[in-house]
Protein backbone atom coordinates (compact mmCIF):
# COMPACT_ATOMS: atom_id res chain seq x y z
CA UNK A 1 0.00 0.00 0.00
CA UNK A 2 1.24 3.50 -0.71
CA UNK A 3 2.33 5.60 2.23
CA UNK A 4 0.66 9.00 2.36
CA UNK A 5 3.37 11.61 2.85
CA UNK A 6 3.70 15.34 2.33
CA UNK A 7 5.83 15.17 -0.79
CA UNK A 8 5.51 18.78 -1.90
CA UNK A 9 8.69 20.15 -3.49
CA UNK A 10 10.67 22.64 -1.40
CA UNK A 11 13.21 25.36 -2.08
CA UNK A 12 15.55 27.28 0.25
CA UNK A 13 15.45 31.07 0.02
CA UNK A 14 16.59 34.06 2.07
CA UNK A 15 15.30 37.62 2.45
CA UNK A 16 17.04 40.93 1.74
CA UNK A 17 17.33 41.89 5.43
CA UNK A 18 18.79 38.49 6.34
CA UNK A 19 20.77 37.24 3.31
CA UNK A 20 22.35 34.38 5.31
CA UNK A 21 18.99 33.03 6.47
CA UNK A 22 17.68 29.69 5.26
CA UNK A 23 13.93 29.66 4.72
CA UNK A 24 12.60 26.43 3.23
CA UNK A 25 9.35 27.03 1.34
CA UNK A 26 6.80 24.68 -0.20
CA UNK A 27 5.52 25.10 -3.75
CA UNK A 28 1.85 24.87 -2.73
CA UNK A 29 -0.67 24.74 0.08
CA UNK A 30 -2.60 21.70 1.22
CA UNK A 31 -6.40 21.71 0.96
CA UNK A 32 -6.68 22.01 4.73
CA UNK A 33 -4.50 25.13 4.62
CA UNK A 34 -6.89 26.87 2.25
CA UNK A 35 -10.29 26.03 3.75
CA UNK A 36 -11.93 28.98 5.47
CA UNK A 37 -9.25 31.46 4.41
CA UNK A 38 -11.21 33.45 1.84
CA UNK A 39 -11.93 36.59 3.88
CA UNK A 40 -9.90 39.66 4.68
CA UNK A 41 -7.48 41.82 2.77
CA UNK A 42 -4.69 40.33 0.67
CA UNK A 43 -2.21 41.04 3.48
CA UNK A 44 -4.47 39.40 6.08
CA UNK A 45 -4.84 36.30 3.91
CA UNK A 46 -1.09 36.24 3.27
CA UNK A 47 -0.37 36.35 7.00
CA UNK A 48 -2.45 33.18 7.37
CA UNK A 49 -1.11 31.18 4.42
CA UNK A 50 2.56 32.21 4.34
CA UNK A 51 3.40 30.40 7.60
CA UNK A 52 1.77 27.32 6.06
CA UNK A 53 4.00 27.67 2.99
CA UNK A 54 7.19 27.73 5.10
CA UNK A 55 8.48 24.30 6.03
CA UNK A 56 11.39 25.51 8.16
CA UNK A 57 13.74 28.40 8.86
CA UNK A 58 16.80 29.05 10.97
CA UNK A 59 15.67 32.23 12.76
CA UNK A 60 16.08 32.30 16.52
CA UNK A 61 14.97 34.59 19.34
CA UNK A 62 17.30 36.77 21.40
CA UNK A 63 17.55 33.76 23.78
CA UNK A 64 18.75 31.50 20.92
CA UNK A 65 15.46 29.61 20.92
CA UNK A 66 13.91 28.66 17.55
CA UNK A 67 11.56 31.39 16.35
CA UNK A 68 8.20 29.71 15.66
CA UNK A 69 6.84 29.94 12.13
CA UNK A 70 3.66 31.87 12.87
CA UNK A 71 1.87 34.96 11.63
CA UNK A 72 2.98 36.72 14.83
CA UNK A 73 6.61 36.00 13.95
CA UNK A 74 6.08 37.19 10.38
CA UNK A 75 4.75 40.50 11.72
CA UNK A 76 8.30 41.21 12.93
CA UNK A 77 9.67 41.25 9.36
CA UNK A 78 9.99 44.34 7.19
CA UNK A 79 7.23 44.64 4.58
CA UNK A 80 9.87 44.36 1.84
CA UNK A 81 10.98 40.99 3.24
CA UNK A 82 7.39 39.72 3.33
CA UNK A 83 6.86 40.85 -0.25
CA UNK A 84 10.08 39.05 -1.21
CA UNK A 85 8.89 35.82 0.44
CA UNK A 86 5.51 36.08 -1.33
CA UNK A 87 7.19 36.63 -4.71
CA UNK A 88 9.60 33.74 -4.14
CA UNK A 89 6.70 31.41 -3.28
CA UNK A 90 4.75 32.56 -6.33
CA UNK A 91 7.75 32.12 -8.63
CA UNK A 92 8.60 28.68 -7.21
CA UNK A 93 5.00 27.57 -7.54
CA UNK A 94 4.97 28.56 -11.22
CA UNK A 95 8.27 26.73 -11.92
CA UNK A 96 7.00 23.52 -10.30
CA UNK A 97 3.72 23.71 -12.25
CA UNK A 98 5.67 23.87 -15.53
CA UNK A 99 7.68 20.72 -14.73
Q: Record the pTM.
A: 0.86
Kindly report, residue by residue over 47-94, the tens digit of the pLDDT. Answer: 888 999 999 999 999 999 999 999 999 999 999 999 999 999 999 988
**In the β-sheet with 18-26, what is the strand arrangement from edge to edge?**
10-15, 18-26, 54-57
pLDDT at 77: 94
Alpha carbons within 13 A on the beta-carbon side of 34:
4
pLDDT of residue 37: 66
Domain extents for the chain?
10-98
Task: Give the residue, 38 or 43, on which the prediction is more confident.
Answer: 43
Question: Which has the closest alpha carbon to 49: 68, 67, 71?
Answer: 71
Amino acid sequence: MPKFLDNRPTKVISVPSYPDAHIEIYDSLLVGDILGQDTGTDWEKAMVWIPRMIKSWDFTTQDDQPLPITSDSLKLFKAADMTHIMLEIQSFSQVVKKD
